[in-house]
């Protein structure tokens, strides 16, 4: 199985400041169809996860443009340009290129 | 809008079975597969597998073969996940999530296994 490794596991931030987190995969996530199936999910405490980003950088409907995804191959980044209170919680990356889908262990975005 | 509404929390004894439902609305149910994801207490997310809502064919990740069964009632746009011979380490929140890349999620169902 493809191993997804996120860092850092805990990310203390100041509201209004930028934040960035990384996700690495043990194999390239470029699919035979040319797409890279790397998604980001956000889970607030006590809530179900919500997908934010699909295929590395495609924002889902309703996701603010201060949240962006980038990367290629085996290295990916989620960036929040100005952290707001609603952004706190755990962020998971997930690869959907290789079977079975696998998640990273999560990055907990918390107030400094 | 897409909605997935799951059944309520369950408390079961070891050895019992449980069936979690996931009722879909806001889209054509048979157009998108349904995935199941497990989250143990304080832990991350594990993809359990998915069911093709067109054919009814389930696919299970290796760790979820044998005691786990995915099924459908397409007449009422509902997917089910059943666990047999429950063990303490089956205690978790189970999510249904639709679409090839987990586009939308249910609210989760807490299954607690305790004697």
Cα angle A98-A47-B43, degrees, rounded to a multiple of 5: 55
Q: Which of B42, B45, B47, B106 would best serve as a mutation to test chain A binding (most A beta carbons within 10 A)?
A: B45
Smallest CA–CA separation between B89 and chain A, in Å?
19
The reported pLDDT for the residue numbered B3 is 97
Q: Which of B4, B38, B102 would best serve as a mutation to test chain A binding (most A beta carbons within 10 A)?
A: B102
pLDDT tens, residue order, chain A (112 aa) = 999 999 999 999 999 999 999 999 999 999 999 999 999 999 999 999 999 999 999 999 999 999 999 999 999 999 999 999 999 999 999 999 999 999 999 999 998 8
* CA dist., res. A80 & res. A64, Å (int): 10
The reported pLDDT for the residue numbered A112 is 86
Which tokens is B50 given? 């998915």
The reported pLDDT for the residue numbered B96 is 98
DSSP 8-state symbol, A101: P
pLDDT in tens, B88-111: 999 999 999 999 899 999 999 999
pLDDT beyond 90 at B4: yes
Q: A49: nearest CA in chain B?
A: B105
Residue A36: name the closest of A16, A15, A17, A56 by CA.
A56
């Amino acid at each position: 199985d493809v191993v997804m490794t996120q860092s850092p596991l805990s990310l203390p931030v100041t509201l209004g400041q930028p934040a960035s987190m990384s996700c690495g995969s043990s194999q390239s996530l470029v699919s035979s169809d040319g797409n890279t199936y790397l998604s980001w999910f956000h889970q607030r405490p006590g809530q179900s996860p919500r997908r934010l980003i699909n295929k590395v950088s495609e924002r889902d409907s309703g996701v603010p443009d201060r949240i962006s995804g980038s990367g290629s191959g085996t290295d990916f980044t989620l960036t929040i340009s100005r952290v707001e209170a609603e952004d706190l919680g755990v962020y998971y990356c997930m690869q959907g290129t290789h079977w079975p889908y696998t998640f990273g262990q999560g990055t907990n975005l918390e107030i400094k | 809008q897409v909605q997935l509404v799951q059944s309520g929390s369950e408390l079961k004894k070891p050895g019992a079975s449980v069936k979690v439902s996931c009722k879909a609305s806001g889209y054509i149910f048979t157009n998108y597969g349904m995935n199941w994801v497990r989250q143990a207490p304080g832990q991350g997310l594990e993809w359990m597998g998915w069911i093709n809502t067109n054919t009814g064919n389930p696919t299970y990740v290796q760790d979820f073969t044998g005691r786990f069964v995915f099924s459908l009632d397409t007449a009422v746009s509902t997917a089910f996940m059943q666990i047999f011979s429950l063990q303490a380490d089956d205690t978790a929140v189970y999510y249904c999530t639709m679409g090839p890349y987990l586009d939308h999620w249910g609210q989760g169902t807490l299954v607690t296994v305790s004697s």
